[in-house]
Structure 1
Amino acid sequence: MFHQILTHFALDPNQYTVQPFGSGLINHTWIVSTPHGPNAYILQKINTGVFKYPQDIARNMASLGTYLQQHYPDYLFAGALPTTSGDYLYVDDQHQYFRLFPFVARSHSIDKVNTPEQAFEAARQFARFTHLLSGFDTRLLKITIPRFHDLSLRYQQFTTALKNGNPQRIQETAALISYLQQQQQLVQTYEHIKNDPGFRLRVIHHDTKISNVLFDDAYKGLCVIDLDTVMPGYFISDVGDMMRTYLSPVSEEEKDVQLITIRDDFFAAIACGYLEELRNELSDSEKQHFVYAGQFLIYMQALRFLTDHLNNDVYYGARYEGHNFIRAQNQAVLLQQYNAKSALFNQIISTI
């Protein structure tokens, strides 16, 4: 398989080795390297179960890369390399889609945020990406996952699961269902945002986990990677996803809810890093909803996990019985902890 793929990217398959790489869960990823030279590459097979139209991703990357090269040529853009025919995807006989990226020398990614400084650098990189593309026409971007961060849709799917889902699971999770229903005002706020002229559709990454940032040896941010979910969106998507995944020392997989806490200094680091790049671009209305961003994403993910549990795990799957219930409960506790500190967080924002 790899022999033919490398040939289409003008690489001599006899000179390179291909080995699995990284911890990504969606696409299959390999590192392509050679002992005979400094160049290395990242090869990916796109998961067409998640991304139905890989050509749209390729077009988005090409458009963004062209814009950045024209306006900010010094920015390290992690775009795909062309094949020998000039395309940015290679499609094999089984209709599998592959793309190749240059490996950035002396760079690395991390899977867990361990310090406020790392949170600051990541937030700054995601904000810088959006900032540099502020002049890009978002209408040119293809939607790679329709309604990905549409909270209204996720709540609608939740209510449908309450009607049509597993009756036993609905009964067993009544307390969690009731809590999430009590937070419905967060959906109403999102509906208000969609109609607020103070909110602008921007070029948003939509998947701001720490592993999607490249760092140098001194843990300074270099650029953002994994651009498949880059689409028009609101800034609350990127900020909210960072808060959801950076603030607690434990992940959404943690079963012991006593370990779920909110690290105030990490919140301040996210806010400082993000606003360092976008302070002058965000409207007053957007800044007033900075804290809401965390509520927005944490609540959405709690809804999605519980919805899948009620639907017998048809979307995320489950590694053990009740897996998605544990995840949903985890996110609900995180939301409770976050809400309890909302006044403090608003004070932090007002001082930045």
Structure 2
Amino acid sequence: MDLVAIARHFPACVEGELRITPITDGLINATYRVELLAGGQQFILQKINTAIFRNPAAVARNHSLVNELLAKTSYPRQLVRQLKTTVGNDLLTVDAQSAWRLLDFVTGAHTIHKANSPATAFEAAKTLGEFLFYLNQHSSAEPEETLPGFVDFAGRMRAYQAALGSASPTRRQQAAAAIHLVNKYLTLPDQWIAWQAADSLPRRIIHGDPKISNVLFDSNNQGLCVIDLDTVMSATLLYDFGDMARSYTNETVEDDAQATSVFDPDMYLAVKQGFSHHLGKLLAPIEAKNLDYAAQTVIFIQAVRFLTDYLNGDVYYATRHATHNLDRAQNQLRLLTELTHFLTI
């Protein structure tokens, strides 16, 4: 793969010597930093993973839609532009399974991969909440669906039941403790599923992957901008809050099944305060009253997804060892148990 040849399809990179280096932080797309040696200008070159995002053109159109909506408001943060190809397209399609794009590089920014203090968690949640607040101002526009069924919790539970029925006896036995705990919480998502069926939750544009590394910070650890818009979708804001709570409050790595304590209550309170800092003016009563429930439910559904994949023989998530998905499920169930205990104190 000739990365320089690919970069040359974008006007900003047509001339001059280029230095292209991989950025290994992402889990889905292949991402590279492109630097023009003559002037030092930098860009992000990215290959969209078409095994996950089967309609990369929709991903690109959603990115443009988000920028257009935010540009119509007084949103104070930087927007990351998609730069056109030499023929005026958002994407360079090399073949049926290869879609490339060039994005702005945000100078003076850094990423944080794990919240290291409640103050950092608050700032990240506030920055994402601000992004969502301005994105949902006075607009009926909806992103195109790029991840079908992503927030279909009824579908996630059906998949779990099917996996439970078809799993090998060995895997069911190895996962017995996790299955027992999932079954203990089996009715947890019922209210959410009922709301979805009745269309009771306000439909908003959400980020879909609000982990802390999708917020860029400046040198003072203040939020600079929100990145990675591939997963934006129409859903409930409760999902983004729940996934923030899930990913920010875990004191260990996501696949640590041995830790006896994983939940940080101070991080949780900071995320809740940060998320509501701007969005408190937008949230409907059903949203504002159910943040705690959302956190529990999203954590539970992620545990179910990991356990489902383990029972299915590890067909979706990449694994490094035989019980990797089971370890992930057990970690999430521990997080759920500790959060639930905290909320009942």
TM-score range, shorter chain: over 0.9
Question: Deviation of residue 255 (structure 1)?
Answer: 3.1
Give the match for residue 135 of structure 2: 133
Evaluate the alpha carbon distance shift between residue 208 and residue 171 of structure 1 in structure 2; reply closer, same or farther with a 3 A threshold: same
Partner of 1:232: 234
Tell whether the 8 Å contact from 2:242 to 2:295 is kept in structure 1 after alignment.
yes
Residue 219 of structure 1: aligned partner: 221
Q: What's the CA shift for 1:37?
A: 1.7
Q: Offset at 1:341?
A: 0.8
Q: Within 1, Cα distance between the matches of 2:189 and 2:257?
A: 27
CA contact 1:198–1:286 (8 Å) conserved in 2? no
Q: Return the offset for 1:117.
A: 1.2
Structure-to-structure mapping, 1:194-205, within 5 angstroms: 194-195=196-197, 199-205=201-207
Residue correspondence of structure 1 range 34-53 to structure 2 within 5 A: 34-53=36-55
Q: Within 5 A, what are the aligned runs for 1:33-112?
A: 33-72=35-74, 74-93=76-95, 95-112=97-114
Amino acid at match of 1:337: E
Residue 94 of structure 1 and its aligned partner are, at CA, apart by: 5.8
Contact 2:303 2:333 in 1 (8 A): yes
Q: Which runs of 5+ in 1 are unaligned?
A: 345-352
Do structure 1's residue 297 and structure 2's residue 314 form an aligned pair? no
Cα offset, 1:196, TM superposition: 6.0
Distance 1:135 1:332 in 2: 36
Distance in 2 separating the partners of 1:125 and 1:196: 31
SS in 1 for 2:137: coil
Letter in 2 for 1:277: H
CA distance in 1, matches of 2:77, 2:295: 28
Q: What SS is found at the alignment partner of 2:111?
A: coil
Instruction: Determine if contact 1:138/1:232 at 8 Å carries over to the other structure.
Output: no
Cα pair 1:176 1:329 within 8 Å, conserved: yes
Q: For 2:296 and 2:281, locate their aligned partners in 1 and report how far apart those are by CA, in whole Å.
A: 23
- SS across alignment from 2:51: coil
RMSD, aligned CA: 1.7
**Deviation for aligned residue 1:167:** 2.1
1:244 to 243, 246, 249: 246
8 A Cα contact 1:8 1:84, kept in partner: yes
- Using the alignment, how far apart are the partners of 2:208 and 2:98 within structure 1? 24
Counterpart contact for 1:126–1:238, Cα < 8 Å:
no
Aligned-partner Cα distance in 2 for 1:133–1:307: 34
Distance 1:198 1:311 in 2: 33
Q: 1:328-352 deviations in whole A, cap 9, x for unaligned?
A: 11111111111101135xxxxxxxx
1:86 Cα deviation (Å)? 1.7
1:213-249 deviations in Å (ceiling 9; x for gaps) = 0000000001110010000111121111111111121
Q: Tell me which amino acid in the other structure corresponds to 1:290.
A: L
Find 1:172's aligned residue among 171, 174, 184. Answer: 174
The 8 Å contact of residues 255 and 327 in structure 2, kept in 1 or not, is answered as: yes
Give the superposition deviation at 1:288: 1.3
* C-alpha distance in structure 2 between counterparts of 1:253 and 1:240, whole Å: 19
Cα separation, 2, equivalents of 1:27 and 1:164: 32
How far is the alpha carbon of 1:34 from its aligned partner? 2.8
CA distance in 1: counterparts of 2:269 and 2:87, whole angstroms: 48
User: Which AA in structure 2 matches 1:265?
Assistant: D
Q: Give the % identical residues.
A: 36
Normalising by the residue count of structure 2, what TM-score does the alignment of the two structures yield? 0.94
SS in structure 2 at match of 1:71: coil
Q: 1:124 corresponds to which residue? A: 126
Deviations 1:28-65 (A, max 9, x none): 01000133224211111000010000000111111221
Following the alignment from structure 2 to structure 1, what is the Cα–Cα distance between the partners of residues 27 and 162? 28
Aligned to 2:34: 32
- Distance in 1, Cα, partners of 2:77 & 2:9: 27
Question: How far is the alpha carbon of 1:322 from its aligned partner?
Answer: 1.0
Q: Distance in 2 between matches of 1:51 and 1:201?
A: 22
**CA displacement at 1:198 relative to structure 2:** 5.6
- Cα distance change of structure 1 residues 270 and 223 upon mapping to structure 2, 3 Å threshold: same
8 Å Cα contact 2:7/2:45 also seen in 1: no
Please tell me whether the aligned partners of residues 68 and 75 of structure 1 are also in contact (alpha carbons under 8 angstroms): no
Output the CA distance in 2 between the equivalents of 1:73 and 1:242. Answer: 21
1:292-350 Cα distance to aligned partner (Å, 9 max, x none): 12111110111011111111101113211111111111111111111101135xxxxxx
Correspondence 1:311-326 to 2 at 5 A: 311-326=312-327
TM-score when normalising by structure 1: 0.93
Task: Measure, in 1, the Cα distance between the counterparts of 2:262 and 2:210.
Answer: 20
Aligned mates of 1:197, 1:233 — CA distance in 2: 10
Q: How many residue pairs were aligned?
A: 343
CA distance in 1, matches of 2:302, 2:52: 17
- Alpha-carbon deviation of 1:3? 2.7
Unpaired segments ≥5 residues, structure 2:
none
Which residue number corresponds to residue 327 of structure 1? 328
